[in-house]
Every structure is written in structure tokens, then in C-alpha cells.
Amino acid sequence: MQNKPNENINDSPPTSLNSDASVPLVSLHTHTDLSRCAKPDMTFEAAVAFAIEHGYHTLAFSDHVHPAEIIDWPAHAQRLRQYKSLRDEANWPVRVLIGGEFEVQSKGAMVECDEILEICEYTVVAPNHYHVAWVDCVGTTCAEVAAHELDCFETALNWPHTNILAHPYVGKIQKPEHEPNGMWEATDKGRVKALIELAKERGVALEIQPAFWYHPKRAGRIAELIDLWLDGGGLVSLGSDAHTLATLHIWAERYGEIIERFNLCPEKVWLPPFIDKGKKR
């Protein structure tokens, strides 16, 4: 029987990269054309071929799981089964994982589908998809919006399936109150420290994602959150959030900058347990 995506959270410590060298090239947040916002060239096969060509260690797919009125859940699940079948029949020199990007819909409420969860080998959770109509963003001041973001963090951390907390503070800006640097400035840092402890208890990693790194004027101060997370003993996840092959290329080119900036070593970086044809090894 396939292991549940959170099995390593509840039953054993989270897995980190076990290389003694520099952190291998991975993307644990990658989309295919199954996600409505991905480009047509971003097919599963094309992304894997690109990863092989550019020396990726792990390419993990996390297509968006939206509410049932937005996407066809059974069709989505079937597509993920097809991806797993292709992977299991292949002998690729890159580790390929099949997961999903689920959403916090509002404080205390998740978008979830049992059929899709059963297939996923790991899960990414977006706490701040504020740009879509079915996700709440509340508050009128920067501090209120920041407090709502932490409510969404907590919702994700309390969801038993969460492995990775995606793109903190860098959801699509809809109002000036969503500006990431300002939100971080207004954030209750004491509450952040408490959430870091919860994340450590649950084995949930915080994503280091390119949005803050490539756009420092908009989101550069989010590096302070990552520093705080690492200083508190939390694990991080490395994800390109690629919706195009070009983004996978940029991620590979600039990956070393992120490793150097946060002084990352394999012990600080989370990976799902190795899964091969439904079994850990």
C-alpha cells in the first residue's frame, strides 16, 4: 500500500538530503500543463528531459489542486496516475516525485481531495493564493493582512498532510497591503517563532522560492524570515515554482546564489522519503 504523504511527519523525522557535498540541484515545487496557469510547453515529459539535461538531482511535481468547481478532480487524479506510471516504467537519472500544491482557502479551511491525496507522494501548501476568487484575504492595514497570513500559515501547519509551506508572503499582490516587505515589517515576530516550533514538531519545511530572490525591492526582506526559520532549527525546501521550462533554466542558473546566501548544507534541506513504485527505500 502506498505511504501517505505525511507519513514521514507523524511516524519519523523529516528526510534531508544525505550528500556530504554541496546541496544537489532540486525543485520540489514544479508545475506541468496540468496546472491551468502553466505554459503549454511545460509538459511532464519535457520538464523531466530538461531536468536530466541540466543535472537535476530531484524534480518534484506539484500541480495546483483547486476546488472541485474549478478543476475536475477525477481527471486531475487520473493525470497524476499517468505521470506515476510513466516514471515507474522509466529509468531516468533524475529522481521524479508526484505531489500536489493544495491551498489554504480561509482561516481554518483547506482545499483538499482525498482521491488526489491518496496519489500524492508529498504535498506543498500555498497559504496566500490571494489572486484567486475562492481564497480569502482579509484586513485593511498591512498589519491585519500580515496577521491573516500567519493564520493561514497555522492552518497549513495544522493540516495533517502538509510537507512544505510554499512562497511565504509572496502571494500575488492585489492591494498595497499585500506588499511583502511591508507585511513582514508589520508581522508579529513572536508569533512567527511559535509557528516555527509548530513546524518543527510537524516536520514541515519552509520553501525558499525565487520570488523574493529575483525581486528584492518587492520581497527581499522575506530573507529575514528564512534566516529566522533556519536559526530556529527548521528545515527548508527548495522550489522553483516553475510554470515554464525557461523558469526551470533560471532556477538552475541561480540556485547556487540561494545556497550561498543561506549557507545551506544537506542537513538543512528537506526531501520526501525515497518512493519507488509506491514503496519507501
Q: Is residue 2 part of a domain?
A: no
Question: What pLDDT is stored for residue 210 in this prediction?
Answer: 78
Question: What pLDDT is stored for residue 8 in this prediction?
Answer: 37
At residue 76, does pLDDT exceed 90? yes
> What's the pTM value of the predicted model, to 2 decimals?
0.90
Q: Is residue 81 part of a domain?
A: yes
Q: Is residue 230 part of a domain?
A: yes
Q: How far apart are CA 236 and CA 103, in angstroms?
A: 19
Share of the chain above pLDDT 70, in %: 89
pLDDT (tens digit, 9 = 90+) per residue, 198-228? 999 999 999 998 777 667 777 788 999 999 9
pLDDT (tens digit, 9 = 90+) per residue, 127-143? 999 989 999 988 888 89
Q: How far apart are CA 122 and CA 133, in angstroms?
A: 26
Q: Which residue has the higher pLDDT, 37 or 43?
A: 43
The pLDDT-based confidence of 238 (bands split at 50, 70, 90) is very high
Q: Is residue 57 part of a domain?
A: yes
Per the prediction, the chain carries an average pLDDT of: 88
Q: How far apart are CA 262 and CA 281, in angstroms?
A: 30
Range scoring the smallest mean pLDDT among 30-44, 60-74, 164-178, 248-262: 164-178
Q: How far apart are CA 243 and CA 211, in angstroms?
A: 13
At residue 249, does pLDDT exceed 50? yes
What's at 40, amino acid-wise?
P
For 271, which DSSP code?
Answer: E
For 242, which DSSP code?
Answer: B
Question: Quick check: 270 and 205 in contact, CB under 8 A?
Answer: yes
Q: Which residue has the higher pLDDT, 41 or 12?
A: 41
Q: Is residue 258 part of a domain?
A: yes
Q: Is residue 37 part of a domain?
A: yes
At residue 45, does pLDDT exceed 90? yes
What is the average pLDDT across 175-182? 85
Q: Is the dihedral of CA 107, 97, 88, 71 positive or negative?
A: positive
Give the CATH number of the domain where residue 23 resides: 3.20.20.140
What is the average pLDDT across 176-191? 91
Question: What pLDDT is stored for residue 17 in this prediction?
Answer: 52
Structurally, how many domains does the chain consist of? 1
Q: Is residue 70 part of a domain?
A: yes
At residue 250, does pLDDT exceed 80? yes
25: containing domain: 7-280
Question: What pLDDT is stored for residue 15 in this prediction?
Answer: 52
Q: Is residue 1 part of a domain?
A: no
Question: What pLDDT is stored for residue 1 in this prediction?
Answer: 27
At residue 11, does pLDDT exceed 70? no
